[in-house]
Amino acid sequence: MTVLNKSGSYDLNYCAQCGSDKIERKEVDGRQRAVCLSCGRVFYRNPIPSVVGISIINDKILLVKRGVEPDIGSWCLPGGFMELGETTEEAVKRELFEETGVKVKPVEIITIDTTIGGFYGDVVVIAYGIELESKNFIPGDDALDVQYFLYDNLPRLTFHSHRLIVDRAFEKSNAKNK
């Protein structure tokens, strides 16, 4: 079992392998890690994988208005966390449909970025260029609105990594069009 501690990270109360409550932090592979003193299992903490979809049409980018924390009412790229048993392509299709009500086709990976120590901890964001089946958007249960915004007039984005991803996507799009 894990418990959120005061520093915002998770501590283990017992070993998932042997059930012992003898867990200590030790240096393993050059980092402090939780280690079970009974069976020796090392517990590695890994970033959470997530995906976003990028649709650019006439210098406009598709964004969703957040209906959930963090920062309800702000704008971000449509996307979310991967689920167990799905590929990154399946995740971007599912997340985009959930947030926009539109089926998409992932075309290419635009970029990959990482957020360290954010609201959800460390997150790896895989950004896909997408093609939309339609533009008949129906915001999902965690999105309040779906709109295209001119690149030169974007609202503040919730996640810093999303702004970096948008900038890279536009650079890549402009390089293709030259």
Tell me: pLDDT of 6 over 50: no
Q: Are 143 and 75 in contact (CB under 8 A)?
A: no
Q: What is the mean pLDDT of residues 92-119?
A: 95
Residues 6 or more apart from 37 whose CB is under 8 A from it?
20, 22, 23, 24
Over residues 144-171, the pLDDT tens digits come to: 999 999 999 999 999 999 999 999 999 9
pLDDT of residue 45: 87
Q: Are residues 170 and 123 in the same domain?
A: yes
Q: Are residues 52 and 35 in the same domain?
A: no
Over residues 16-28, the pLDDT tens digits come to: 899 999 999 999 9
Q: Are residues 39 and 53 in the same domain?
A: no
- Our measurement of the distance from residue 113's CA atom to the centroid of its chain's CA atoms, rounded to an integer in Å, reads 9
Quote the CA–CA distance of 70 and 123 in Å, as a whole number: 14
Tell me: pLDDT of 8 over 50: no
Q: Are residues 67 and 36 in the same domain?
A: no
Question: Facing residues of 76 across strands?
Answer: 64
Q: Is residue 150 classed as helix, strand or coil in its secondary structure?
A: strand
Domain count, the chain: 2
Residues in the chain: 178
Question: Facing residues of 131 across strands?
Answer: 105
Quote the CA–CA distance of 113 and 133 in Å, as a whole number: 26
DSSP 8-state secondary structure symbol assigned to residue 153: G
What are the backbone angles phi and psi of residue 71, rounded to the nearest 5°? Answer: 65, 50
- Our measurement of the distance from residue 131's CA atom to the centroid of its chain's CA atoms, rounded to an integer in Å, reads 19
Q: What is the mean pLDDT of residues 118-137?
A: 94
**What percent of the chain stands above pLDDT 70?**
94
Quote the CA–CA distance of 79 and 128 in Å, as a whole number: 10
Q: Are residues 34 and 100 in the same domain?
A: no
Q: Are residues 15 and 87 in the same domain?
A: no
The sign of the dihedral angle between the CA atoms of 109, 114, 118, 119 is: positive
Tell me: pLDDT of 7 over 80: no
Q: Are residues 35 and 53 in the same domain?
A: no
Q: Are residues 36 and 107 in the same domain?
A: no
Over residues 53-64, the pLDDT tens digits come to: 999 999 999 999
- Top pLDDT among 52 and 14 is at 52
Q: Are 139 and 146 in contact (CB under 8 A)?
A: yes
Q: Are residues 93 and 117 in the same domain?
A: yes
Q: Are residues 80 and 125 in the same domain?
A: yes
Domain of 16 in residue numbering reads as 2-43
Provide the token pair at 77.
């790229």
Q: Are residues 73 and 95 in the same domain?
A: yes
Rg (CA), the chain: 19
Whose CA is closest to 126, among 83, 163, 80? 80
CATH of the domain at 113: 3.90.79.10
Q: Are residues 56 and 39 in the same domain?
A: no
